[in-house]
Structure 1
Amino acid sequence: MTTRSELRGQCLCGAVRLTAIPTSLHVDACHCQMCRRWGGGPMMVVECNRNLSFEGQQYIVLFGSSEWAERGFCRQCGTHLFFRLKDLSYCAVPVGLFEGSTAWSFTQQVFIEQKPAYYSFSEKTENLTGEELFAKHSQGS
């Protein structure tokens, strides 16, 4: 499926609801230590960027996880809501927040050099190191 349509989702307690039109139907996994520490495993996300809105903004708490990025979560239940660059040029939403079934395609794994040996995925994906990821985005692709 290549058609993108508006998707709805929510946090675990329902205090925060979101509406998004994903940039694509591609799911990416981040294996960096920060994402694994934040969620206990790889972060499985969908890029949403500017096509994302929230209801219940008063329940969203931001955590500046680096000089260039921040993470949002629900202050009521702790659900992870997004990872975004502070310049707002990139925003990723955990794919599990979305309701219903969508024809997602697992296409990319990043910070592959930080992936621990105790898990692996069988899907064939593009695998990028952190250095390769930063180089790709600094070139505007």
Structure 2
Amino acid sequence: MASAQQQSGGCLCGAVRFTATPADREVGACHCSMCRRWSAGPFLVRDCGTSLKVEDRSSLGAYRSSDWAERAFCKTCGTPLYYRLIDKDMYFVSAEAFDDLKDYAFTSQIFIDEKPAYYDFANKTHNMTGAEVFAQFAPGGAANSK
């Protein structure tokens, strides 16, 4: 894996552009019902920590999907861009929104217990249930809905 470096990306129409420094080239999939409804399938993300910088926020829309998280998208073309943990200001950016897609490694899946039976990934990954995700990331470890 290449070391962390700043990368650029954006939405389908180009109205939203960003830079971020992902921790690595790893990609994770979220199978929760909200991500699947929002992105029409599992949401494939890269962990960018607090590094995301949006160039012009005027075309960026945000939906607060829970007490502790929001989802952002382009208001012009609708591209899902990131999931953010508000209290920790942590960004999980759509893997496909980055300009450089080389050398990605699909390494993890979360909310594996909510994944519908009609699809499976062949990759061997680290898998976590929803309860395990909430225990690790939710404020106070509260197991409340995503």
Q: Identify whether the pair has TM-score above 0.5, normalized to the shorter chain.
A: yes
* Structure 1 residue 88 displacement after superposition: 3.5
Letter in structure 1 aligned against 2:4? R
* Structure 1 residue 39 displacement after superposition: 0.8
Q: Residue by residue, what CA displacement relative to the aligned partner does 1:25-83 show, whole Å, maximum 9, x if unpaired?
A: 21000000000000110000001121111112111111011111101111111111110
Q: Percent identity, aligned pairs only?
A: 46
Match of 1:80 in 2: 80
* Structure 1 residue 103 displacement after superposition: 1.3
Q: Give distance in 2, aligned partners of 1:101 and 1:44.
A: 12
1:19-58 correspondence to structure 2 within 5 Å: 19-58=19-58
* Structure 1 residue 89 displacement after superposition: 3.7
Structure 1 residue ranges, 4+ long, deviating more than 4 angstroms after superposition: none
Q: Give distance in 1, aligned partners of 2:89 and 2:55.
A: 21
1:1-141 correspondence to structure 2 within 5 Å: 1-137=1-137
User: Gaps spanning 5+ residues in structure 1: where?
Assistant: none
Say which SS state the counterpart of residue 49 (structure 2) adopts.
Answer: coil
Q: TM-score scaled by structure 1?
A: 0.93
Q: Residue by residue, what CA displacement relative to the aligned partner does 1:81-110 show, whole Å, maximum 9, x if unpaired?
A: 110012144210000011123211111100
RMSD: 1.6
Q: Give distance in 2, aligned partners of 1:65 and 1:137.
A: 15
Letter in structure 1 aligned against 2:134? F
User: Gaps spanning 5+ residues in structure 2: where?
Assistant: 142-146
Say which SS state the counterpart of residue 87 (structure 1) adopts.
Answer: coil
Q: TM-score scaled by structure 2?
A: 0.90
Letter in structure 1 aligned against 2:109? Q
Q: Give distance in 2, aligned partners of 1:89 and 1:55.
A: 17
